[in-house]
Structure 1
Amino acid sequence: MSTPIPIIDTHIHLWDFKHPELKWVWLSPDFIHPIIGNIDAIKSEAFVLNDLWSEARFAGIEAFVHVQAAIGSPNPVTETRWLTEMAKTGPVPMRIVADCPLGAPEAAQQLDEHAQSPLYAGIRDFNAEPMLASGEINAAYEASLKKLTKQNVVFDLDCGWPNMGAAVELAKRHPDLKIVLEHIGFPRSRDDEYFANWSKAVRELAKAPNVTMKISGMPMTDPRFSKESLRKWAEVCLEAFGPSRCVLGSNWPVDRLYSSYDIIMGFTRDYISTFSASEQEAICRTNAKRLYNF
């Protein structure tokens, strides 16, 4: 039996409610997720890097990318500093996709402060999709995106299919910006009509050469998924973006609501198994290594 190709898991979340400054509002006892509903099963006091490794260590993981999780904190740079310190004793390397309100007056300063961490590799801003939906081209936001390009870091983008057209235009305005679409566009439904609309939008988005697809979070609105129910979603992404512009993510521990780490990552390995060894290597690790500056 051959040794599986190592994976860089490009989407994980960590927290520790004992931290005196950080907050995770989406994990508060009374919070109901607006899309996936009740997530009480993952609302532990803490979930740090060693806890994650306990669940992921048999899945052939060689590194992690942490994506902003301390939502509601006074200063998002605090999360970057906390994670940077934690990673010093971590079991495998880690990079950080930090939080920053890119259209805010303080954005430039926060981006500079994030960049003081050697692990800083990008930004996710939940204000992005509402801006895309509005059709607005905000000068301050555009300036921040140019700064991300200059920093050579990733813009991790949450964007459902109705706003992918606007995302294409954003990608055209910033052709050297590394953009990664999260969670295959976070499908809100699994019916045939939604799949057709989503598939068309994904293929249009793939025409922007600076956009990469993150194959992650697929179980979130298909909680009783099977390997086959997820397969067609993964295959559209792989066909549209090709092996040179796809990366993998576990969305851990959110997707623990639906299955185990090994099962989900094992299914993903199966979806890419028809590609050559070098193409699988690109999807599993090489693309992520380049994008997230490992």
Structure 2
Amino acid sequence: MIDCHVHLWDPALGFPWIRPDSAHHRTFDTDDLAASGTDPDLSGAILVEASRGDAGETHALGEARLLRPDLVAGHVANLHAHADAGPHRLRALLTEPGESRPNGMRLGGPRWTDTPVPARALVPVLADAGVVLELNLLAGALRTAADVAAAHPALTVVVDHLGNPPNLHTDPGEWYTDLDRAAAAPNVVVKISGLLTQQHGVPHERVAALVRRVVDAVGPQRCLIGSDWPICLPRGSRADSLALSRLGLAHLTARQREDVLHTNAVRVYGLRG
């Protein structure tokens, strides 16, 4: 299994969203990642940027990947942090030889229209380079993914955290509609991640139903799995998070589960098999 959503950080280097009184306000490095990976099925992880706020995080992720290839299969950098450098420098980064090249670039914010215009202008560079665009939007992520994917057919768009589905207190209707739109776009991939945190307090059977709804809509060949470690830690361990994400896969065949847990990550992120 490839865990497609883990983070590393040192609050002393930035990460302004981490509150000083938070359980997250400590360094999480590759040694911590190794200690968290108790599942014998785990074969690697995708490091995802954590909004450090500068392009140095991209270098740090690549360095971690080079130093610990036993743990890190790939990395996703922050597109915001490279927006001011312009398309030529981003293209150079994305065409670097070897393992220093990011496997994806992430764009996040409350909504698509809240993301920086210079960052959005770099999306065609990702499409040309064959590098994934990853979306972490609080609202409208699935709808946005469908629109961006339609505008850039050569681009793979990965939606984090099931596109932030509703919890017990929110009408799910709009999310279902957006899911159907994303399902109709063949170059949209959905990541089953973040559920231990975002669906805290929701009965596990309902969480499993959300996952199953996504998998059945887009197909098991277009889903990835991720723990969102160490974000998940106040609610449970990395293993707990992955177990919750897997609950909605019980109806799949063994081959389909292998697609979600491993094969799709290799294809989507261009990893070594």
TM-score tier after normalising by the smaller chain length: 0.7 to 0.9
C-alpha deviation, 1:194, in angstroms: 2.2
Is the CA contact (8 Å cut-off) linking 1:101 and 1:107 kept in structure 2?
Answer: no
Aligned to 1:47: 28
Task: Confirm whether residue 220 of structure 1 aligns to residue 214 of structure 2.
Answer: no
C-alpha deviation, 1:210, in angstroms: 0.4
**TM-score (normalizing by structure 2):** 0.87
1:251 and 1:115, CA in 2 relative to 1: closer, same or farther beyond 3 A? farther
1:179-212 Cα distance to aligned partner (Å, 9 max, x none): 0011011235433x52232122112211111000
Structure 2 counterpart of 1:89, which letter? L
Over the matched positions of the two proteins, sequence identity in percent amounts to: 26
* Equivalent-residue separation in structure 2 for 1:206 and 1:217 (angstroms): 20
Find the partner of 2:177 among 179, 190, 200: 200
C-alpha deviation, 1:59, in angstroms: 4.9
The count of residues paired between Structure 1 and Structure 2 equals 267
* Equivalent-residue separation in structure 2 for 1:189 and 1:51 (angstroms): 30
Structure 1 counterpart of 2:111, which letter? E
SS in 1 for 2:99: coil
Is the CA contact (8 Å cut-off) linking 1:161 and 1:201 kept in structure 2?
Answer: no
Aligned to 2:135: 157
SS in 2 for 1:171: helix
1:203 and 1:68, CA in 2 relative to 1: closer, same or farther beyond 3 A? same
Find the partner of 1:24 among 11, 15, 18: 15
* Aligned-residue CA RMSD (Å): 2.6
- Where relative contact order (Cα < 8 A, 6+ residues apart) is larger, the structure is 1
After superposing the two structures, state which structure 1 stretch, 162-171 or 58-67, moved more. Answer: 162-171
Is the CA contact (8 Å cut-off) linking 2:141 and 2:163 kept in structure 1?
Answer: no
Is the CA contact (8 Å cut-off) linking 2:82 and 2:90 kept in structure 1?
Answer: no
C-alpha deviation, 1:161, in angstroms: 5.2
* Equivalent-residue separation in structure 2 for 1:107 and 1:127 (angstroms): 20
Structure 2 counterpart of 1:60, which letter? D
Aligned to 1:8: 2
Aligned to 2:268: 291
* Equivalent-residue separation in structure 1 for 2:196 and 2:177 (angstroms): 21
C-alpha deviation, 1:155, in angstroms: 0.3
What stretches of structure 2 of length at least 5 have no aligned partner? none
Task: Confirm whether residue 113 of structure 1 aligns to residue 96 of structure 2.
Answer: no
* Equivalent-residue separation in structure 1 for 2:61 and 2:38 (angstroms): 19
Is the CA contact (8 Å cut-off) linking 1:128 and 1:157 kept in structure 2?
Answer: no
Aligned to 1:92: 71
Structure 1 counterpart of 2:196, which letter? P
1:72-110 Cα distance to aligned partner (Å, 9 max, x none): 23xx1x212222222333232331110122894423224
**TM-score (normalizing by structure 1):** 0.81
* Equivalent-residue separation in structure 2 for 1:48 and 1:111 (angstroms): 28
